[in-house]
Structure 1
Amino acid sequence: MSLNSTPQSVRVHIGLFGKRNAGKSSVVNAITNQEASIVSNIAGTTTDPVLRPIEILPIGPCVLIDTAGLDDIGELGKLRINKSLDVLDKTDIALLIVDSTIGIEKEDLSLIKKFNDKKIPHILILNKIDKVSDKDILLSKSKKLVKCPIICISALNRIGIAELKQCIIDNIKEENTDFRLVSDFIDENDFIVLVIPIDKAAPKGRLILPQQQVIRDILDTGAMAIITKETTLKETLANLNSKPTLIITDSQAFEQVSKDTPIDIPLTSFSILFARQKGDLSELVKGAYSINNLKDGDKILIAEGCTHHRQKDDIGTYKIPKWLKERTKKDLIFEFTSGITFTEDVAKYSLIIHCGACMMNRAAMVSRIEKAKELNVPIVNYGILIAYLKGVLDRSLEPIKAKELLSVD
């Protein structure tokens, strides 16, 4: 994929935070080496978060998120601040921009506390260092207030930008740069069969993002991807000269694919692979078993990370509620969210059912899982729930259990 076509979900998200006029947009321009963001002496020039793609080697594709000032004023300013703070939920590494001529203030310290609470790696950037007469005194004062890495720069004059990039590279968590889906438990020259239904819900003329990303991961390994529909799986397996290493199916075809797949061939789903990559697989599996505890009147949130046109038999708004009611025999209440909006009231739900999060980065999905865990609200994703409802969850987890210890206590 090219730099600009790489999906945001597999980019490292670098959030830039700070007070108005600290120079956040100037830092974006300096890192990208282009005038990508509007820079002005007028406080509050940046309103909504602005995303800029960039590649930082050896990390790879990243996205810079320029946010509004955390000292914004007025009712509209409060809304802007809340939008800036929302960015924390998908930030892999945070850059706190401070005006060197002013120094660290209470808003900056408050934000550092939020970084620490959310366990977000962060860097303090002392900008406009060219306007400070004694850098050593400023650094000494700053080190007494914060324990994170500190970089002195002048975004306007492009001073210290190479050091800043290296500091980002040094402090990013490896788990946020590792986008493997299946490549760590398959080998070169393995045959992998992908079962991809082509129904009216499938986008015309293309594969959906999870399918594309799994195929790319297989190819990067040097293995071979063989693609078929659920209606032709038997014929595909019969025509192979050797047994495939693994079969990966779309969750909606799980039941039929499981019946047509010999028991000695490992089977899993795209959604389960994404659950492993994006967040806490064990927690999501626990969420599937929790459906046995549902009662009449329980509220269930069905959340999706993207927005799309819903058809009458949509998986999230129609099929899953139908299957869940049939399985539990309970009178359940369903609510729905999509896109960047999750929910501010996690505690009112007895279960959260989430999509595979292919359009979200790992930090965003982990944040949602953690919010549910904190309030003891079970959470599961589509594929894991469907596998459980169809009686194939244990089988679909076996390829992963063979690779790593999966605890579902």
Structure 2
Amino acid sequence: MSNKAPRGIRLVITLAGQRNAGKSSLVNAITDQKIAIVSDMPGTTTDPVAKHYELLPLGPVTFYDTAGLDDSGELGELRIKATRKVLWRSDVAIVVVGEAGLTPHELKIIEDIIELDIPFIIAFNKSDIREPSAEDRAYCQKKGFRFLTTSAKDETNIDEIKQAIIDIAPPEMKRDPVLAGDLFKKGEWVVCVVPIDLSAPKGRLILPQVQILREILDGDALALTTKESELEEALSGLNHKPALVITDSQVVHNVAKVVPTDVPLTTFSTLFARYKGDLPTLVHGAKAIDTLSEGDTILIGEACSHHPVEDDIGRIKIPHWVTQYTGKNLNFETYSGHDFPEDLERFKLAIHCGACMLNRTEMLRRMNECSRRGVPVTNYGVAISKVQGVLERILTPFAL
């Protein structure tokens, strides 16, 4: 079951430390599966290795076993960079300390984790060989760092590590997240407008649509799914007004013309804007579209990598709509998957997808990094509604 949970709703737990600190052995002990290669040879783990696991009451989580942050050489630098990318999207970190105790390498890792505002614990591993020194214990106590002694070999304090993860996990991961469940009641109708175009996956719906349909069913409400071309007929067939209409952003302009103004209307992407990020910030970021100048560069952020089609939403449609709205010649650059530009300052605006394939931590961290660099950030649905002139309409269901 944990293997089937969407990647974007998993808690991400990253083990970081020096080579040969026992990170791989610890992942194996925690998950009770030998999924990471273990060797006495330093540097066995070269790339981050993911392991899905069910950690109740948190639910599905992903553990990342990473390359040692004391790796050397040109290849070592690439491995370290890959490890830091994983840390950047982590909800919880475990700093694994080996026989040498706390060295400048571990202290630098802790410094980076604190800067990223990631809750963490320190695991003094290999306690079967060496207990942490009095100096290391005193240092952790003075700094207020949570730490445990453990032995992956003897499975000492493995359950305690799991409990520590549960204790320090972000509060939002300990409660059931809400997409649209607070916008309708039991027995009410919710209409979902799902266009079928070239970008629609064959034989299935996209993840935001599936998650919202499941939430409607879990809330004992009634779901009506239709294409935009049949929306008017679908609405006329209902014997009373729906509690909510949710549409794909690509057709929001036409849908807004059909849905009566007294019926709450929003988009899948707008719901994901508050589910995965911070809706007020993304709405504020959309206002920067009005300030764009000739030749400005805009970042298009995609959470997943895919082969673009001729009507691709992020690479074709949004650039066309924004250019049409502003009347300016603008440059658009796309970054996909977990890639995100390090030179954010050169962008005048970041327009991010709904982030259905990212966890909330990574989306918020991307938003915070944009804000820190002075780059307004919005998302696909909010930006499209802005340039289509219906932003205020799709925000009416929310108390902003």
In structure 2, give the amino acid aligned to 1:156. K
In the other structure, the counterpart of 2:74 is 75
Q: Percent identity?
A: 47
In the other structure, the counterpart of 2:19 is 20
Please say if 1:65 is aligned against 2:64.
Answer: yes
In structure 2, give the amino acid aligned to 1:123. I
What is the alpha-carbon distance in structure 2 between the residues aligned to residue 268 and residue 187 of structure 1? 17
In the TM superposition, what is the alpha-carbon distance from 1:138 to its structure 2 partner? 6.5
User: Pick from 254, 271, 278: which aligns with 2:269?
Assistant: 271
Map Cα deviations across residues 187-239 of structure 1 (whole Å, 9 max, x no partner): 22222111101122211100011111111222222222211111111111111
What is the alpha-carbon distance in structure 2 between the residues aligned to residue 151 and residue 221 of structure 1? 41
In the TM superposition, what is the alpha-carbon distance from 1:139 to its structure 2 partner? 6.3
How do 1:94-105 and structure 2 match up within 5 A?
Answer: 94-99=93-98, 101-105=99-103
How do 1:6-405 and structure 2 match up within 5 A?
Answer: 6-99=5-98, 101-132=99-130, 137=134, 140-144=137-141, 146-177=143-174, 178-401=176-399
What is the alpha-carbon distance in structure 1 between the residues aligned to residue 185 and residue 214 of structure 2? 14
- Contact 2:101–2:133 under 8 Å retained in 1: no
In structure 2, give the amino acid aligned to 1:17. A
What is the alpha-carbon distance in structure 1 between the residues aligned to residue 38 and residue 142 of structure 2? 29
In structure 2, give the amino acid aligned to 1:147. G
State the secondary structure of the residue aligned to 1:112: helix
- Contact 1:301–1:336 under 8 Å retained in 2: yes
Instruction: Label 1:188 to 1:297 Cα distance change in 2 as closer, same or farther (>3 A).
Output: same
State the secondary structure of the residue aligned to 1:210: helix
In the TM superposition, what is the alpha-carbon distance from 1:28 to its structure 2 partner? 0.7
In the TM superposition, what is the alpha-carbon distance from 1:94 to its structure 2 partner? 0.6
In the TM superposition, what is the alpha-carbon distance from 1:142 to its structure 2 partner? 4.4
- Contact 2:183–2:243 under 8 Å retained in 1: no
- Contact 1:103–1:138 under 8 Å retained in 2: no
What is the alpha-carbon distance in structure 1 between the residues aligned to residue 218 and residue 132 of structure 2? 47
In structure 1, give the amino acid aligned to 2:160. E
Q: Give ranges in structure 1 of 5+ residues lacking alignment.
A: none
State the secondary structure of the residue aligned to 2:134: helix
In the TM superposition, what is the alpha-carbon distance from 1:145 to its structure 2 partner? 5.9
Instruction: Label 1:136 to 1:311 Cα distance change in 2 as closer, same or farther (>3 A).
Output: closer
In structure 1, give the amino acid aligned to 2:180. V
In the TM superposition, what is the alpha-carbon distance from 1:35 to its structure 2 partner? 0.7
In the TM superposition, what is the alpha-carbon distance from 1:135 to its structure 2 partner? 5.8
State the secondary structure of the residue aligned to 2:179: coil
Instruction: Label 1:139 to 1:301 Cα distance change in 2 as closer, same or farther (>3 A).
Output: closer
What is the alpha-carbon distance in structure 2 between the residues aligned to residue 254 and residue 11 of structure 1? 30
In the TM superposition, what is the alpha-carbon distance from 1:129 to its structure 2 partner? 1.1
In the TM superposition, what is the alpha-carbon distance from 1:61 to its structure 2 partner? 0.3
In structure 2, give the amino acid aligned to 1:148. F
- Contact 1:128–1:153 under 8 Å retained in 2: yes
- TM-score, normalised via structure 2 length: 0.96
In structure 2, give the amino acid aligned to 1:202. A
State the secondary structure of the residue aligned to 1:205: coil
- Contact 1:246–1:267 under 8 Å retained in 2: yes
In structure 1, give the amino acid aligned to 2:144. K
State the secondary structure of the residue aligned to 2:378: strand
What is the alpha-carbon distance in structure 1 between the residues aligned to residue 65 and residue 31 of structure 2? 12
C-alpha RMSD over aligned residues: 1.5
Q: Give ranges in structure 2 of 5+ residues lacking alignment.
A: none
State the secondary structure of the residue aligned to 1:400: coil
- Contact 1:92–1:176 under 8 Å retained in 2: no
In the TM superposition, what is the alpha-carbon distance from 1:103 to its structure 2 partner? 1.1
- Contact 2:102–2:136 under 8 Å retained in 1: no
- Contact 1:15–1:65 under 8 Å retained in 2: yes
Instruction: Label 1:83 to 1:136 Cα distance change in 2 as closer, same or farther (>3 A).
Output: closer
- TM-score, normalised via structure 1 length: 0.94
- Contact 2:11–2:60 under 8 Å retained in 1: yes
State the secondary structure of the residue aligned to 2:63: strand
- Contact 2:58–2:173 under 8 Å retained in 1: no
What is the alpha-carbon distance in structure 1 between the residues aligned to residue 57 and residue 182 of structure 2? 20
